[in-house]
Amino acid sequence: MKKSQSSLDSFLSGKTFSTKKDNTKNNSKPAEKNEKEKEKKEKTEKLDLGEITKKLQKRENLPEDKIIPPVKESKEQINDNIIKQEKSQKNKETSILFKEIVDVLLKVEQCKGENSKDQVKELLSNLFIKIITDYSQDLPKVYYFLTSKVGPEYISPEFGIGEGILEKIVGKVIGISDKQLKERLIETGDLGIVASDGKKNVKTMDAFSNFIKVGPQKKLTIDQIMKIYKNVAVKKGKSAQEEKIKILCDLMFKADKEEIKFLVRSLQKSLKIGASFKTILNSLARAINKLLKNKLDEKEIYRILLASKNQLSDEDIFFGHIIELIEKKSDKNFSDLIDLCHIRCGIPVNPQLARPTTGIKVIFERFNDTPFTCEYKYDGFRGQIHYYKKKTQIFSRNLEDMTETYPDIVEFIDKFIKESAEKNNKQLNSFILDCEMVAYDKKNDKILPFQQLTTRSRKNVDLATITIHVCMFCFDILLLNDEILINKTLKERRKYLYETFTESQYIQFAKHLDSNDEQEMEAFMTESVNAGCEGLIVKAIDKNSEYMPGQRNFNWLKLKKDYLDTSLGDSIDLVIIGASYGKGKRKGLYGSFLLACYNDDNETYETVTMTGGGLKDTQLEELYNKLKEIILPKAPSNYKLGKAEPDVVFEAKIVIEVKTADLSMSPIYTAGYDLTPDHRGVSLRFPRFQRTRDDKKPYEACTSEEIVKLYNSQTAISKNTNKTFNNMDIDDIY
């Protein structure tokens, strides 16, 4: 470790850069040479999209029958395709210049004012049209770049480049000292801008001319950048950090002053152009609407895109199908995308989510004449279990592969399959189960508090050393023996679940009550709380009960014991973006934390409250240790602090769950200020820390719109009205 750190330092101080080592062909190490040759070969390989899709599916080791069959074409279609292919053949062999994308991003950055959202959509949709028409193989790459990802969430590692290292890289590339860089960072608040401004100074480049002799400066393409990003992300081991820095320095030396800005920001995981995932998908919908010559409404295309992506979280395959449909490689319509993007083993499905409710009476109003069922709401981690080709995989709520973390569950599943198959005399080849994984006291057959589960380590878990045991409570089945079940009713899916599997001590079915008797429901709620659960999840069981990936609608309602008969119905998940130093007992730690919600319209973080309530000493210490690693010199431009004045600001990374008495309007904070009549933000009263939410990314925190809706619903309940400001309907929330 020490050795690698010292070589890292000397690398950053410029000593290890050698023209010979990095740029001279003869001196290339064999591995590097192979890599280069491989890259060259890859470049010359011409793949059509069907081929790419097949390769991707094979790469993912998907069952043979999930591989898309070759598409049959009519004569006209073949002619049409030949013309299209000829037209774009020249471009098909290359990749779009990064500069072209950057030019669009610069324009997007300039969009301001009332009509800006639409302008952004128009600019991005034109970019998508260009890519789909001329560089279709680049579509997923451009999407990954715009969303600051390396590839599909469930298989792609993070960049693994912290803010500190990134600052050092930028300092190195533009030739300034750490001290100068910090000063510029305080001036601008944006490392991307610091890098870009630095690049304008050509003189600084001379100082490193031995390092940047990379032959005639070739223009960067998105394909090259994404390959480099992947290469960086997969590096592991002792010298990984050093190699990552080297590669990224090289890339940034090659970039021009505008390109470097967006490269830096993408490594920071936000392009800061005010375009969230929602905007990007909306822009793609507009592009497709134009390409399909208005045959389908833009909103309908957005719905299709979202529903398809929620089913199939592998964007490589998702975009492959989009291109296939637009290029009319089959006789399918665009609306068939949902079927093409069907769920499959090995690729996580976005889980269905629940809406908060404030009481049993509201449930009756909501379901009206729709039959429903109540289930225990277990308090653990969501786990999606995939079994196929005799292999088990466990995915988290945010689609991460957690199989390594739970070797005990993998073992239980093996037994579970064996016992279930024997007892029910059924062959089990593949399935996807939706469950909650809960900490469990094996001796006393008792559910343990959620906190116990968080003490389990996440990596290199050895079966023999596990002390906190887990029980899996299954509440849904999405696929069985290759048959997709999500369009069946919950009643039918439960039948599949109960008739196929047999419970054991560690794998049980979620307890349920099929009754609409108020007293029985109340008793069931008490029973669930006494058993260590949070309350109930009430679900439609017949009508409207198909499984809806990624959706949070009124078909699943959560009823938490702590929020019964309050105006809120739920706790709130917020991102820590700043803190004040502690005093007295909290001296040497952070005393209170600046919390923000996420504005998913423009990719900003808006402040909600400053609080230190509800935190134990150990939790304060834990947070201090995590947060001190992600301190920023200045609040980035996408933090809307309002009048909040924290002592330090952090990267938006850590999500926490807070309880609050209620919500109020605030002259200090900015949450949802765009949506309130006098542009004041919404704030929390008496917030108290509950837990950190490691299973949520910052962009999965409560959104500004949700905060305003919560405020609205509270006001509406207290005033007994159904309409609130901004004409938001209270029905939007409860």
The burial class, CB within 10 Å (0-12 / 13-18 / 19+), for 297 is exposed
Minimum CB distance to ligand ATP, residue 567 (Å): 17
Is the separation of the CB atoms in 612 and 675 below 8 Å? no
Helix (H, G, I), strand (E, B) or coil at 726: helix
Among positions 130, 199, 377, 709, the unique one binding ligand ATP when judged by CB under 6 A: 377
Report the residue number, 52 or 354, with the smaller CB distance to ligand ATP: 354
Report the residue number, 290 or 491, with the smaller CB distance to ligand ATP: 491
Is the separation of the CB atoms in 35 and 122 below 8 Å? no
Alpha helix stretches (DSSP H) within 45-97: 49-59, 75-92
Report the residue number, 509 or 581, with the smaller CB distance to ligand ATP: 509
Minimum CB distance to ligand ATP, residue 556 (Å): 7
Instruction: Tell me how far apart the alpha carbons of residues 36 and 14 are, in angstroms, rounded to a whole number.
Output: 25
Among positions 226, 537, 568, 733, the unique one binding ligand ATP when judged by CB under 6 A: 537
DSSP helix, strand, coil percent of the chain (3-state; round to 5) = 45, 20, 35
Which of 348, 340, 351 is closest to 436 using CA atoms? Answer: 351
Among positions 354, 394, 572, 652, the unique one binding ligand ATP when judged by CB under 6 A: 354
Is the separation of the CB atoms in 704 and 669 below 8 Å? no
Report the residue number, 17 or 378, with the smaller CB distance to ligand ATP: 378
Among positions 265, 329, 558, 709, the unique one binding ligand ATP when judged by CB under 6 A: 558
Compute CA 518 distance to the chain's CA centroid, rounded to the nearest angstrom: 38
**Residues 129-168 as x/- pattern, contact with ligand ATP by CB under 6 A:** ----------------------------------------
Minimum CB distance to ligand ATP, residue 716 (Å): 21
Is the separation of the CB atoms in 492 and 484 below 8 Å? no
Cβ neighbours for 285, distance < 8 A, ≥ 6 positions apart: 298, 299, 301, 302, 305
Is the separation of the CB atoms in 55 and 42 below 8 Å? no
254, 377, 640, 709: the active-site residue:
377
Residues 694-723 binding ligand ATP (CB under 6 A) are none
Helix (H, G, I), strand (E, B) or coil at 683: strand
Minimum CB distance to ligand ATP, residue 352 (Å): 8
The burial class, CB within 10 Å (0-12 / 13-18 / 19+), for 285 is buried
At residue 676, what is the residue type? T
Report the residue number, 550 or 582, with the smaller CB distance to ligand ATP: 550
DSSP 459: S
Segment near ligand ATP (CB under 6 A); pick from 219-227, 321-329, 377-385, 608-616: 377-385
Is the separation of the CB atoms in 124 and 283 below 8 Å? yes
Report the residue number, 323 or 472, with the smaller CB distance to ligand ATP: 472
Report the residue number, 433 or 620, with the smaller CB distance to ligand ATP: 433
Residues 562-591 binding ligand ATP (CB under 6 A) are 570
How many residues lie near ligand ATP (CB under 6 A)? 14
Q: Show contacts of 290-293: CB within 8 Å, 24+ apart.
A: 290/125, 290/129, 291/129, 291/132, 291/133, 291/326, 292/326, 292/334
Minimum CB distance to ligand ATP, residue 550 (Å): 11
Minimum CB distance to ligand ATP, residue 706 (Å): 10
Strands 639-640, 604-611: pairing is parallel
What count of other Cβ atoms lies within 10 Å of the Cβ of residue 296? 17
Is the separation of the CB atoms in 245 and 165 below 8 Å? yes
**Residues 493-532 as x/- pattern, contact with ligand ATP by CB under 6 A:** -----------------x----------------------
Segment near ligand ATP (CB under 6 A); pick from 92-100, 373-381, 486-494, 705-713: 373-381
Instruction: Tell me how far apart the alpha carbons of residues 298 and 286 are, in angstroms, rounded to a whole number.
Output: 6
DSSP 67: S
Segment near ligand ATP (CB under 6 A); pick from 34-42, 369-377, 609-617, 710-718: 369-377
Report the residue number, 170 or 510, with the smaller CB distance to ligand ATP: 510
Segment near ligand ATP (CB under 6 A); pick from 276-284, 293-301, 376-384, 706-714: 376-384
Minimum CB distance to ligand ATP, residue 371 (Å): 17
Token couple for 322? 């989009």
Segment near ligand ATP (CB under 6 A); pick from 257-265, 305-313, 374-382, 637-645: 374-382
The burial class, CB within 10 Å (0-12 / 13-18 / 19+), for 645 is exposed
Report the residue number, 194 or 537, with the smaller CB distance to ligand ATP: 537
Minimum CB distance to ligand ATP, residue 570 (Å): 6
At residue 181, what is the residue type? L
Helix (H, G, I), strand (E, B) or coil at 348: coil
Among positions 67, 228, 240, 353, the unique one binding ligand ATP when judged by CB under 6 A: 353
Q: What is the dihedral of CA 209, 175, 9, 210, to 10 degrees?
A: 0
Minimum CB distance to ligand ATP, residue 593 (Å): 19
377 in active site: yes
Is the separation of the CB atoms in 592 and 610 below 8 Å? yes
Segment near ligand ATP (CB under 6 A); pick from 77-85, 235-243, 375-383, 603-611: 375-383
Report the residue number, 92 or 494, with the smaller CB distance to ligand ATP: 494
Minimum CB distance to ligand ATP, residue 545 (Å): 13
Among positions 99, 117, 235, 382, the unique one binding ligand ATP when judged by CB under 6 A: 382
Concatenate the DSSP letters of all residues of 211-279 into one string: T---SS-PPPBHHHHHHHHHHHHH--STTHHHHHHHHHHHHHHHS-HHHHHHHHHHHTT---SS--HHH
The Cα-based distances of 476 to 335, 387, 433, 492, 641 in angstroms read 27, 14, 6, 10, 42
Report the residue number, 287 or 354, with the smaller CB distance to ligand ATP: 354
Among positions 17, 145, 378, 689, the unique one binding ligand ATP when judged by CB under 6 A: 378
Residues 455-484 binding ligand ATP (CB under 6 A) are 475
Minimum CB distance to ligand ATP, residue 304 (Å): 24
Report the residue number, 475 or 711, with the smaller CB distance to ligand ATP: 475
Site membership for ligand ATP, residue 436 (CB under 6 A): yes
Minimum CB distance to ligand ATP, residue 560 (Å): 7
DSSP 357: -
Count of residues for the chain?
Answer: 734
Report the residue number, 191 or 537, with the smaller CB distance to ligand ATP: 537
Instruction: Tell me how far apart the alpha carbons of residues 150 and 144 are, in angstroms, rounded to a whole number.
Output: 6
Minimum CB distance to ligand ATP, residue 549 (Å): 13
Among positions 242, 375, 705, 706, the unique one binding ligand ATP when judged by CB under 6 A: 375
Segment near ligand ATP (CB under 6 A); pick from 122-130, 250-258, 370-378, 388-396: 370-378
Is the separation of the CB atoms in 40 and 311 below 8 Å? no
Residues that bind ligand ATP (CB under 6 A): 353-354, 375-378, 382, 397, 436, 475, 510, 537, 558, 570
**Active site (catalytic) residues:** 377
